[in-house]
Chain A
Amino acid sequence: MALLEEPIKGIAKPKNYINGEWTESKGPISENVNPATGKVISQVANSTKDEVDAAIKAAKAAFITWRQTPPVARARCLFRLKQLLEENFEELSRIQTQEHGKCIDESRGETRRGIENVEVACGIPTLMMGTNLEDISSGIDEYLIRQPLGVFGIIGPFNFPFMIPLWSAPYAIATGNTVVIKPSPEVPLSQWRLTQLIDEAGFPPGVWNIVNGGSEVGNALMEHSDIKGITFVGSTKTARYIYCKCGETGKRVIAQAGAKNFMVIMLDCNRIATIPAMMTSFFGNTGQRCLSGANLVIVGEDDKFYKDFVNSIVEAASRIVIGYGLDESVQMGPVKDKTKKEKILGYIESGIKDGAKILLDGRKNLKIVGDYPDTCFIGPTIFEDVTPSMKIGREEIFGPVMSIMRAKNLDEAINMCNASPYGNGNAIFTNSGKSAREFQYRVASGNIGINIGIVAPMAFFPFSGAKDSFFGVLHTQGQEAVRFFTESKVVIQRWP
């Protein structure tokens, strides 16, 4: 199948966007490659502390007038952005595939999910409304108003370069705050292109700023006294660090972290529908997402069901077409870079060493559609006889690796889920409402799937998380994001 055209030709050099101007950074440059082709696709600077300070200063100055801009006028800027995002939908999607490696269907899905957050934030005149009650005592009224706080820092991950900053940023600015976004330095182009559209949409200078760079930039944001809060998505280690750091500096924080999700298969599940759901859950985005399935738990002692189901899974996984995501026939792209691939290979070795049985080995017989280097490619890998205590059964691999376990009954499966330190997106596949209800009720997980393999909340619901998968109180997206980005001010009045 012919390749879709690449929107990024040559090497892109995204600049910082500060106070409505594209500015060159003085920081050291690093290169990123398209993981499918191996070609250098971007050169991006690790911005200096002075540049971060300049962005925060611009955002702070812009806040004064932006917060006074009527919510309906702020919403209109977002409506213009939404229109531009729709007009550039395909280009934005293909850029994600180029810089991250995911397939075009997945990139378009990411673009749609990002736009949906802009759409929800367009409703800010309603979302931001407060509440009131007359006569809390005779002749005394009380009401609550929501006010913006100032400048927020948004730190994005590599696995969803376009969408994840949009879990926060539209709500932050819709509520009257201003933002400084730090995209992942591994995938800076999606936010760069998005910011070009922000510029075109006519947001006032300083409302939306981009500062490229790595952990130094992240630290500079967290240490700055004018930053009121941080949203972050990434590893548990970094999320915990950010949570503590923001605690020290008195900032609000949403820190979404790692995961080890369990997909629990009951004997009464709809097998025809469950198999493709498992392919998406475990191998979609090449396993590089915090909602990916990691452990497949087959419940019951029916050996025939177990064998048939596992065979179907292995057969479906072995047919997955691997290659460059701009080829529409490709179902799974590469992982982001060589280092990440090596880490995954390390986990596969560890699984073998710990006694798990490998049913499908993604290291062998790798068939890549097209003439591409195998540097970042790895095939779907399936282990059985995995236990929760094995390294591959307990740690986040962030790659296309499925660990199959068995549980005698639902109770045991639920206990396995709850014994994990993570609690992000566990799911059950069943036709029994009773089992589903039991699972939903007892499993300690921020997001629960019932016959859904990727439990990604829509923009109008919070993206939840529990245990080591989330640090904070309020969540990104929807009404909770509006609350995170505003202070509740209560007024009590009496006119004697």
Chain B
Amino acid sequence: MAINTASAAISFGKELEQEGAKFYEDLSQKYPQYKDTFMSMVRENQKYAVMVQEAYFSVISDAIEGCFAFDINPEDFEFKTRLSETTDNSEVLSKAIEIEEIMVKFYTETTEQSKSLLGDMSRVFGLIVRKRNARITILKSM
């Protein structure tokens, strides 16, 4: 079912962040040499989930179009986080970059759709897009 309300968009964004965090937590155990980097990404994901919810809770109003702000197909933003035992380093990094690119796509879409309706939320979404693009650069350099 399409995501059409602010509440559903926020819940979906949180789910994506949590799945991403779990993915990086697994990687931090599997690749001890990158533990610090992956664990910082876990913490960032958790922080982004809080930021998005806080932005929503602080601007939500009965007077704006929260119930009619979004038209998002969740299937466009699904990603798999499970890795097989035989996955090598380059595949792992490719997977991480893929996940980040999906997240960027999600937040770019929600930024656009919430722009004229929930200004502070789109600002937070936009901030997360910038942070994530920086993360992609880090992952590509690994």
Contacts and interface: CB of A to CB of B under 8 A. Distances in A.
Contacts of B65: 276-277, 279-280, 453
Interface centre among A109, A285, A321 (most CB of B within 10 A): A109
B4 A321 contact: yes
Contacts of A452: 63
30 contacts: A1-B1, A103-B5, A104-B7, A105-B5, A105-B66, A105-B67, A106-B62, A106-B66, A106-B67, A108-B60, A109-B63, A109-B66, A112-B61, A113-B62, A273-B116, A276-B68, A279-B67, A284-B62, A316-B68, A321-B4, A328-B5, A328-B7, A328-B8, A329-B4, A329-B5, A331-B4, A452-B63, A454-B63, A456-B61, A456-B62
Interface string B1-17: 10111111001000000
User: Interface size for chain A: under 10, 10 to 19, 20 to 34, or 35 or more residues?
Assistant: 20 to 34
Interface centre among B4, B58, B59, B63 (most CB of A within 10 A): B63
Nearest to A89: B57
Nearest to A456: B63
A331 B91 CA distance: 41
Contacts of B68: 276, 279-280, 316, 331
B10 to A, nearest CB: 9
Contacts of B5: 103-105, 328-331
B64 interface: yes
B15 to A, nearest CB: 11
Interface in B1-52: 1, 3-8, 11
B62 A328 contact: no
A304 B67 CA distance: 29
Nearest to A452: B63
Contacts of A112: 57-61
Contacts of B136: none
B40 to A, nearest CB: 29
Interface centre among B5, B7, B58, B117 (most CB of A within 10 A): B7
B69 interface: yes
A332 interface: yes
Interface in A62-110: 89, 103-106, 108-110
Contacts of B8: 1, 328-329
Interface string B60-99: 1111111111000000000000000000000000000000
B60 A105 contact: yes
B117 A285 contact: no
Interface string A227-255: 00000000000000000000000000000
Interface of B: 1, 3-8, 11, 56-69, 116-117
A169 B63 CA distance: 21
Nearest to A319: B4
Interface centre among B4, B8, B67 (most CB of A within 10 A): B67
Contacts of B57: 89, 108, 112
Nearest to B9: A328
A163 B56 CA distance: 18
Nearest to A280: B65
Interface string A315-358: 01000010000001111100000000000000000000000000
Given A89-B57, A108-B7, A273-B116, 13 more contacts: A105-B67, A106-B66, A106-B67, A109-B61, A113-B61, A280-B64, A280-B67, A328-B7, A328-B8, A329-B5, A331-B67, A452-B63, A453-B65
A277 B116 CA distance: 10
A330 B117 CA distance: 18
A164 B8 CA distance: 26
Nearest to A163: B62
Contacts of B63: 109, 113, 280, 291, 452, 454-456
A409 B65 CA distance: 28
A68 to B, nearest CB: 35
A493 to B, nearest CB: 46
Contacts of A113: 61-63
A328 B11 contact: yes
A106 B61 CA distance: 7
A104 B62 CA distance: 10
Contacts of A1: 1, 8
Interface in A259-295: 273, 276-277, 279-280, 284-285, 289, 291
B60 to A, nearest CB: 5
Interface in A356-373: none
Contacts of A331: 4-5, 67-68
Contact of A109 (B4, B62, B116): B62
A163 B60 CA distance: 14
Contacts of A456: 61-63
Interface centre among A280, A454, A456 (most CB of B within 10 A): A280
B50 to A, nearest CB: 14
A324 to B, nearest CB: 13
Nearest to A451: B116
B11 A109 contact: no
Nearest to B70: A276
